[in-house]
Structure 1
Amino acid sequence: MQNAYRSPELLVKRAVVIKYVAQTLTAIDFEQPCDIGIRLVDNSESQSLNLHYRHKDKPTNVLSFPSELPEEILPMLDQVPLGDLVICIPVVLQEAAEQHKTPEAHFAHMVVHGTLHLMGYDHELGAEEAAEMEGLEIQVLQQLGFGNPYEME
C-alpha cells in the first residue's frame, strides 16, 4: 500500500485494508493467494489519472485498474495479481461528510467497491449488474461491521 496522502481524519492501516479486501474476496469465493496494489492519493493525482484513463476532468473516490497479465502467465506466479486501486482520500472524506457516514465506513466501502471492480463486477453495465454488485457490497460491509452504504442517514 502506498500512502501518498495522509489525513488526520482518516488513519489508514495496512492490516485493516487487507481485512477489507479479504472479506470481499471471501464473499465471492475467490480463494487464491493474490496481490492488489493500493495507492492513497490527493485530489490532483486522482484528477490527473481520471482524466487520462476515463476522460473525466475531476477527482474521483476510487479508480480500479484490473491486471492485464496474460492468462498463461498466471500459473507460474505465487500470487495472482488482481490489479491496482487508487483511492482519493479528500474525495472520500468529502463524500463521507455529505452522506453523514464516518470516514472509516466510506473508505471501507471504496475498498470493497474497488476490489469488486478488479474482480470484474461493473455497476455501469445495467440495473441487474448494479444490483448484484451493490448487494455484495452491502453484505461485505455488514460482515465488517458497517451499515448499508446506500442508505443515507
Structure 2
Amino acid sequence: MPLVVSNLQEKLPVDEDLIGLLTRVVEAALADTVEYHDAEVGLVFTDNEYIADLNRQYRNVDGPTDVLSFSMLEGEPVQDGSDSIMLGDIVISLEKALQQAKRFGHGLTREIAYLTVHGVLHLLGYNHETDAEKKVMREKEEQILSRVLLPEG
C-alpha cells in the first residue's frame, strides 16, 4: 500500500472513496520514478490549528498553511527491516483545503488531490522557489491529476 492515511481532525469527513482517489494520485505521482515507485507515503489530515502549530514549529511561520511535506529521505536512512521505502509524510489542513476550493471555484476533492500531489512532488525533490521551478512543478501536478481523471480547474 503506497498510502497510509491518518485523520487527526473531525471538522470534515474523510471517506473510503477519497482515500481510494488519493491512493491513485500517489501511485501516479510515483509511477515515473525508478527508485521510489513502490515507496510508502504518509498522509495526515488536520485542521487549521494543528497545521499552524506545525508551520510555526518547522518553518517559523505564524498561521495555517494548506500542506506541509516532511521527507524521510533527508539525513541517515532508517532501516525498519522491510524492503519498502518510506518517502515521507504529507500534512494537509482540510479546513484550508475547503477555503481554497471555494476561492478557486472547484470542488474540495480536487483541492485535496492537488495538495496531495503537490506534497508528493516536494518529497521527490521538486520545488517552486523560482518561476522556472514553479512552472515545471505545476505542469507535473496537472499531468498527474489528469492521469487520475481530475481535469484542471
Amino acid at match of 1:88: S
Q: Alignment identity in percent?
A: 30
Which shifted more, 29-38 or 81-90? 29-38
- Does residue 1:82 correspond to 2:81, yes or no? no
- Give 2:125's aligned residue: 120
Which shifted more, 28-37 or 46-55? 28-37
Q: 1:28 to 1:145 in 2, by over 3 A?
A: same
Verify the 8 A CA contact 2:65 2:96 in the aligned structure 1: yes
Post-superposition offset of 1:28: 4.4
Unmatched tracts of structure 1, length 5 or more: none
- Give 2:9's aligned residue: 5
- Give 1:70's aligned residue: 76
**How does 1:1-153 map onto structure 2 within 5 Å?**
1-6=5-10, 7-8=12-13, 11=15, 13-29=18-34, 32-67=37-72, 68-71=74-77, 77-124=82-129, 126-149=130-153
Structure 1 residues 104-134: Cα deviation after superposition (integer angstroms, max 9, x where no partner): 011100000000000000012x122111111
Post-superposition offset of 1:34: 1.2
State TM-score, norm by structure 1.
0.85
Unmatched tracts of structure 2, length 5 or more: none
Verify the 8 A CA contact 1:27 1:140 in the aligned structure 2: no
CA distance in 2, matches of 1:61, 1:83: 17
Amino acid at match of 1:4: L
Number of aligned residues: 146
CA distance in 2, matches of 1:28, 1:135: 16
Amino acid at match of 1:109: Y
Say what the alpha-carbon RMSD is for the aligned residues. 2.1
State TM-score, norm by structure 2.
0.85
CA distance in 2, matches of 1:5, 1:33: 28
Structure 1 residues 30-68: Cα deviation after superposition (integer angstroms, max 9, x where no partner): 554211111100111010000111111111110000113
